[in-house]
Amino acid sequence: MARLYLNESPFPPSPRVVEELARSGYVLNRYYDRELWNKLIKLLSHYAKLPREYVSPYPSSSEALCKLLRLARRERLRAVSLRPGFHAMKDFARVEDVELEYFDLELPSFELDVDKLLKTVDENTMLFIFNPNNPTSNVLIRDPSIVREIASRVRILVIDEAYYEFSGITFAPLVKELGNLVIVRTMSKAFCLAGARVGYVLASPEMIKRLDSLRIKFDIPIPSIAAAVAALQDLDHVKKVVEAIKVMRSRMARELEAMGLRVLPSATNFLFVEVGVRGTEVAAKLREKGIMVTAFDDPPSIQNFIRVSIGKEDENARFLRALREVLKEMGRLAN
Amino acid sequence: MARLYLNESPFPPSPRVVEELARSGYVLNRYYDRELWNKLIKLLSHYAKLPREYVSPYPSSSEALCKLLRLARRERLRAVSLRPGFHAMKDFARVEDVELEYFDLELPSFELDVDKLLKTVDENTMLFIFNPNNPTSNVLIRDPSIVREIASRVRILVIDEAYYEFSGITFAPLVKELGNLVIVRTMSKAFCLAGARVGYVLASPEMIKRLDSLRIKFDIPIPSIAAAVAALQDLDHVKKVVEAIKVMRSRMARELEAMGLRVLPSATNFLFVEVGVRGTEVAAKLREKGIMVTAFDDPPSIQNFIRVSIGKEDENARFLRALREVLKEMGRLAN
């Protein structure tokens, strides 16, 4: 099976991770390792170019998003997310018992109409923006002044930068100026550590205190911390991974466009492709051919799309071959 | 510092854990490893002597307890815990936004008066019993018929068996007969995996479904699963660890009693010791001497106790020496 449906990195993490993981085994009888934890904070602080008190690691960015939703419930805020947007938010809202509202992106290219957004949100809103967005792969905001404006109009502005290393765009420096801005990042993508479940939050010390008060002690396992530390000590590996994925992504986008398909401009490790027929059907047929991709029935505007992660060379080639066959079968491509 | 305050194992986990952890590094770019997960379920099922559908691993027993409290909130149940009891329950209730009620154990030995308990709980209660109890170290229930009776009088009965390997007492077989019984266990103690944050729930498939619906996907990191799998494959190690701790525990209890202190009968990897003076003061003075133990101001009935984990031989000796000094300083022991 080619796993191209979770936007995982096709490459394993830095070889240093293996060593550090093994080493963590010798202290696994302990709930925490202060030294390792401090190393992680220091490395993240250096990586995000922010003082330590602006950084808080979480057991996955998913958990950080859950805790933010929990904060919204506690403080009786409206939680608003964009649509189409990160589909897991629905699950997070369910487990956190939060009713999520949606704001629609503009067709046909799923862009953000900021003026319209500002008319929808209010001073009682916790707004979630995934930048770049998922599943649409595009960047929604490039300009810090837009972030400043939105932040001034909501209670809390959460910007998820899961694909920061691919987009090169971050608003992390703004957390020093905007007390209500929360940046959420993950080590699952460019750092190739999805299985370690490590993410982090960048925000004002006050905001971090509020958020951290909603979690329990020792919630990040020592081996995960060790893996994150090792990965952060090998930024060359991250750079190589990101470059390799970008090269393959361009090639794949060109091939898909050559098939007459619309591909959204991607700033991530995946592509969002308009296939012209029901995406869930295409995904089911691809699965029969050993290729796993994602498609969505909701919202209707993306029913004719599939989301495909950039995999290894041979996986991408197999995907393209299989997609051609499927679209021919479905009458969408000429034989 | 001698860490004798978290009831950690003083011994590292099975050497197999190190190997398996290292191996997990090569698949860490993935969110999950189906094969490894299935292995964990199979091993836990075998270990707990229950069919697979009665077993659900959690990212720590703490998280399982949190999800249970979440269930209580969702279903508008009274959450009742025993007092003195597991102090972290207060934190769990706080983060899960649940008001916890307490039922007092009987002085002077912190035993459970079942008849009195049955008058307090009702069909709307989720009752938490830690058996053996923490911090009191004693077994509260030995007889399955008591469990049956309590279960028949509450909505959900949760029994935490964190120290099962030390007590030898489990009510796990009853989950096949009692649909509202939930057994919570951890791999943090006898398996020496505190840092991996792996626990598990044993309950009816229906109960597990209800509980699992409150969690998010991929919430246990791959290295933690790998560590748990390796540890479960080396039960000899667990046996040796438990035996060694029991031997040291008896010796330590005798020495403390020789000092004229009351020691509660322990079925755990720690001792609960009546020191005759304020426990928090003793703990603070011990800390100055490089020994970390726990003491509690709440409830008042345990203010003159300290809780000390069984450590390595030399740590235990250092603790005893330091305690003697401290109690002499405090006028509790003759010079």
Q: Cα–Cα distance between B128 and B116 in angstroms, integer?
A: 15
Amino acid sitting at position B64:
A
Q: Which residue of B has its CA nearest to A73?
A: B97
Nearest to B154 by CA among B182, B183, B122, B113: B122
Q: How confident is the model at residue B276 (pLDDT cuts 50, 70, 90)?
A: very high
- Mean residue pLDDT of chain A comes to 97
Gap from B254 CA to chain A (nearest CA, Å): 26
How far is the C-alpha of A259 from the C-alpha of A276, rounded, in Å? 12
Please state, as a whole number, how many other Cβ atoms lie within 10 Å of the Cβ of residue A107: 9
Q: Span A36-64, mean pLDDT?
A: 98
Residues B164 and B51 in one domain: yes
ipTM of the complex: 0.97
Residue A335 has pLDDT above 80, yes or no: no
- Hey, is the C-beta of A3 within 8 angstroms of any chain B C-beta? yes
Residue ending a domain, among B234, B257, B274, is: B234
- A310-335 b/e with 16+ CB inside 10 Å = b? bbeeebbbbbbebbeebbeeeebbee
Residue A274 placed within a domain:
yes
Contact in structure between A167 and A139 (CB atoms under 8 Å): yes
pLDDT value at residue B243 = 98
**A335 found inside a domain:** no
Least confident interval from B218-222, B292-296, B328-332: B328-332
Look at residue B333 in the predicted model and tell me its pLDDT. 81
Distance CA B152, CA B165 (A): 27
Q: How far apart are CA A306 and CA A324, in angstroms?
A: 13
Q: Which residues pair with A263 in a beta bridge?
A: A273
What is the per-residue pLDDT for B335? 60
Contacts of A213 in chain B (CB under 8 A): 95
The tokens for A13 are: 């993490």
Encoding tokens for residue B226?
């790998």
- Say whether both B144 and B223 belong to one domain: yes
Given A234, A258, A283, the domain boundary residue is A234
Q: Is the pTM here over 0.90, yes or no?
A: yes
B57 and chain A in contact, CB less than 8 A? no
Question: How distant is the Cα of A211 from the closest Cα of chain B, in angstroms?
Answer: 10
Query: Which residue, B234, B250, B266, sits at the end of a domain?
Result: B234
Please give the span between the terminal C-alpha atoms of chain B, in angstroms, as a whole number.
Answer: 26
> What CATH number corresponds to the domain at position A212?
3.40.640.10
pLDDT score recorded for residue B309:
98
Distance separating alpha carbons of residues B94 and B83, to the nearest angstrom: 17
B17–A contact, CB cutoff 8 A: yes
**CA A237 to chain centroid:** 19
Which secondary structure element, helix H or strand E, spans residue A184, and what is its range? strand A181-186
Inter-chain residue contact B227 with A28, CB threshold 8 Å: yes
pLDDT tens digits for range B135-144: 999 999 999 9
Tokens 């591909």 belong to which residue? Answer: A263
Q: Establish if A334 belongs to a structural domain.
A: no
Q: Is residue B97 part of a domain?
A: yes
Q: What proportion of chain A, given as a percentage, has pLDDT over 70?
A: 100
CA atoms within 13 A on the CB side of B279: 23
Average pLDDT for A52-77: 98
Nearest Cα residue to B21 out of B196, B226, B199: B226
Question: Are A145 and A25 contained in the same domain?
Answer: yes
> Is B161 part of any domain?
yes
Domain contains B335 = no
Same domain, A123 and A216: yes
Mind listing the pLDDT tens digit for each residue in B156-206? Answer: 999 999 999 999 999 999 999 999 999 999 999 999 999 999 999 999 999
Is A129 among the domain residues?
Answer: yes
Q: What is the pLDDT of residue B160?
A: 98
CATH code at position A250 = 3.90.1150.10
CA atoms within 13 A on the CB side of A16: 15
The shortest CB-CB distance from B221 to any of A196, A216, A217 is to: A196
The identity of residue A92, as a single letter, is: F
Residues B170, B253, single domain; the answer is no
For residue B255, name the pLDDT band (cuts at 50, 70, 90): very high
B230 lies in the same domain as B277: no
Q: Which two tokens stand for residue A75?
A: 């403080």
| pLDDT tens, position by position, A256-273 | 999 999 999 999 999 999
Same domain, A166 and A221: yes
pLDDT given for residue A134 in this prediction: 98
- Give me the phi and psi of B274, to 5 degrees please: -85, 115
Give the mean pLDDT of A202-206: 98
Q: Where are the alpha helices (DSSP H) in chain B?
A: 15-24, 34-48, 61-74, 88-95, 114-120, 144-153, 164-167, 205-212, 222-232, 235-258, 279-288, 313-329
If one counts the domains in chain B, the total is 2
- Mean pLDDT across chain B, nearest whole number? 97
Asked if B223 lies within 8 A of A223 by C-beta distance, the reply is yes
- Identify whether residues A274 and A184 lie together within a single domain: no
Kindly identify which residue of chain A lies nearest to residue B61, measuring between CA atoms: A219
- Our CA-based measurement puts residue A330 at a distance from the nearest CA of chain B, in whole angstroms, of 31
- Using CA atoms, how far apart are residues A47 and A164, in angstroms rounded to an integer? 12
pLDDT-above-90 percentage for chain B: 99
Per-residue confidence band for B242, with pLDDT thresholds at 50, 70 and 90: very high
CB atoms within 10 A of CB B255: 17
B256 and B132 co-located in one domain:
no
pLDDT at residue B334 greater than cutoff 80 = no
pLDDT at A209 over 80: yes
Taking residue B216's Cβ as centre, other Cβ atoms within 10 Å add up to 16
Q: Which residue of chain A is at minimal alpha-carbon distance from B98?
A: A74
Domain identity same for B228 and B240: no
Residue A178 shares a structural domain with residue A77: yes
Instruction: Decide: A103 and A117 in contact? Cβ < 8 Å.
Output: yes
Q: Which residues make Cβ contacts (< 8 Å) with residue A154, sequence separation at least 6?
A: A121, A122, A123, A125, A126, A127, A180
The tens digit of pLDDT for each residue in B292-320 reads 999 999 999 999 999 999 999 999 999 99
Query: Is the pLDDT assigned to residue B235 strictly greater than 70?
Result: yes
Dig out the tokens for A177 from the structure: 């100026």
Model confidence over A127-146: pLDDT tens digits? 999 999 999 999 999 999 99
- Chain B, 179-218: which have a CB under 8 Å from a chain A CB? 188, 192-197, 213-218
Average pLDDT value for residue range A233-261: 98
Residues whose CB is less than 8 angstroms from the CB of residue A288 and which lie 6 or more positions away in sequence, other chains included: none
Which structural domain range is residue A257 located in? Answer: 2-9+236-329
Q: Is A56 found in the same domain as A177? A: yes
A258 CB-contact burial (10 Å; exposed 0-12 / middle 13-18 / buried 19+): exposed
In single-letter form, the type of residue at position A39 comes to: K
